[in-house]
Chains A and B, each alone.
Chain A
Amino acid sequence: MLLIPCPWCGPRDEPEFKFAAEPALRPTSDVSDAVWADYLYLRTNEKGFHREVWSHAGGCGQFFLLERDTLTHTIHRALKPGEPS
């Protein structure tokens, strides 16, 4: 069971949360199909240290950035949107 530290609510159990995506910046609408496909579908899918957007869906509903290890499931830290990393 993951214990995830919501930046607003503190540590809560895994079932309250939803993994959303790898963070990415949405390109402008005039880019090529390749750039758009990269944004929509391609992932680094990192083994080890990984930055992820999660939401506390079953709690405060907020999105936040989670730094987590995908191999060991160690959670390093959670950041509010815009919080300097």
Chain B
Amino acid sequence: MRYSAVSLLRQGLAGQTGWPQAWRSPEPKKSYDAVIVGGGGHGLAAAYYLACVHGMRRVAVLEKSWLGGGNTGRNTTIVRSNYFFPESAAIYDFALRLYEGLSQELDYNIMLSQRGILMLAHTEHDMELMARSVNAMLLNGIDVELLDAKQVRAEVPLLNFAPDARYEIHGGFTQRRGGIARHDAVAWGYARGASGLGVDIIQGCEVTGFDIVAGRVTGVQTTRGAISAGAIGLAAAGHSGVLAGMAGFKLPIQSYALQAMVSEAVKPILDTVVMSSATGMYVSQSDKGELVFGAGLDLYPSYAQRGNLPVEREVIAGMLEMFPAFRRLKLLRAWAGLVDVCWDYSPIIGPAPVQGMYLNCGWGTGGFKAIPAGGWMLAHLLATGQHHPISAPFDLSRFETGRLIDEAAGAGIAH
């Protein structure tokens, strides 16, 4: 069904009883041309682009729990492309441009809100480094602007400009095309689009092993039986290392818990996304009115999908330092996702050490913004066996050649 004002009206008059399911839930077939492990945003987007760009229809997405139940449904939904290195700018801006047309393309409102994203500088040194980053980004063709303290104050008057503020604000920079989107809608929209093109989306189906013959993968073992596949894509985020272990190789990835939280809902008070380099925290206000915020990782390996109090306390302290007015808000919920962090804070996209297997992982704390591009690149690999030019620099081999794309040092911002 096409979603439109007419269908909304018609369903409204019919008491909302006639909406069809947004995607089919078929039984898994015995064999597919391509199987994608992981029904998060990246896996679902890859399936959608495999079907619509490459015309492959015998495709399945296998998800061990429910769609978007991993990081895609747990993140703070910031989208932006203000990265330091040209390789990163190319892939993240490709993603942002796809996001800009995605609601139309999928006929599904992903609620993209390009409200801008402001990164604060707290010392003169911060400002100098920021000017350097901004210049690099402008050379990469990204729409960023350096702001002085007065401009920041005009844009976000609620920030702590008190004379005794612990972190004085010296300025900042903004990307106005950045912002937020609805995370569940991104997963659901791609699922609906892919399913409509014939892709089988199979939830409650955990991959437990791989069939590998003479160095080539021929299929997967799952909790719902064996499935053979011409090509296999891994898009399992925090569980990438577990899957790699099943296939007999290791990855340059460590899994950590990353926390986020929301306050109770209040009237509109914050109309952009704000990040602070000093406290590491960031905050935006959702359409429901909740303040959505988070900061750094719980810095030890974890598969627990929950964080601990010391980090939660630091995040909250950081936010209250930046926004004293938020002091009296109640905390509504806190949660964590299981993120796959690479040493250079850039993703891994490309062939795995096993033939016929392709990787899309290592997005760590910042892969929601990349979903359309990550999906596009994985689809390209699965369909052609070759890198798209944009994904080539993110090949696993960079850890051996030393050509890292060190965004941790480059842009100095996560998420």
Q: Hey, which bits of chain A sit against chain B, CB under 8 A?
A: 1-2, 13-15, 18-19, 33-34, 37-38, 40-48, 50, 52, 54, 70-73
Contacts and interface: CB of A to CB of B under 8 A. Distances in A.
A3 to B, nearest CB: 11
B339 to A, nearest CB: 12
Contacts of B12: none
Interface string B329-344: 0000000000000010
Which 10 residue pairs across A and B have the least CB separation, nearest first? Answer: A45-B241, A41-B252, A19-B300, A42-B250, A37-B400, A47-B303, A71-B303, A15-B310, A41-B399, A37-B399
Nearest to B300: A19
Contacts of A47: 239, 241-242, 255, 303
Nearest to A41: B252
A10 B151 CA distance: 51
A48 B310 CA distance: 23
B325 interface: no
Interface string B379-415: 0000000000000000000011100000000000000
Given A45-B253, A52-B300, A70-B302, 13 more contacts: A1-B310, A2-B308, A19-B300, A34-B400, A37-B399, A43-B241, A43-B250, A47-B241, A47-B242, A52-B301, A70-B255, A71-B303, A73-B304
Contact of B301 (A14, A18, A37, A50): A50
B304 A42 contact: no
A54 B303 CA distance: 18
A42 B245 CA distance: 12
Given A1-B310, A71-B304, A73-B302, A45 B400 contact: no
Contact of B308 (A1, A37, A42, A43): A1
A15 to B, nearest CB: 5
Contacts of A45: 241-242, 245, 250-251, 253-255, 301
B408 to A, nearest CB: 14
Contacts of B299: 18-19
Interface in B309-356: 309-310, 343
Contact of B253 (A43, A72, A73): A43
Interface in B273-325: 299-304, 308-310
A35 B55 CA distance: 40
Given A33-B400, A43-B254, A44-B250, A70 B310 contact: no
Contacts of B242: 45, 47
Contacts of A1: 308-310
Contact of A43 (B252, B303, B309, B400): B252
Contacts of B309: 1
B395 to A, nearest CB: 13
Contact of A38 (B250, B255, B302, B308): B250
A34 B301 CA distance: 24
A18 B242 CA distance: 24
Contacts of A54: 300
A29 to B, nearest CB: 15
B303 to A, nearest CB: 5
A70 B343 CA distance: 19
Contacts of A2: 300, 308
Contacts of B301: 19, 45-46, 50, 52, 70
A47 B308 CA distance: 18
Contacts of B241: 43-47
A39 to B, nearest CB: 11
Nearest to A43: B254
Contacts of B303: 47-48, 70-71
B239 A42 contact: no
B310 A42 contact: no
Contacts of B252: 37, 41-43
A45 B302 CA distance: 9
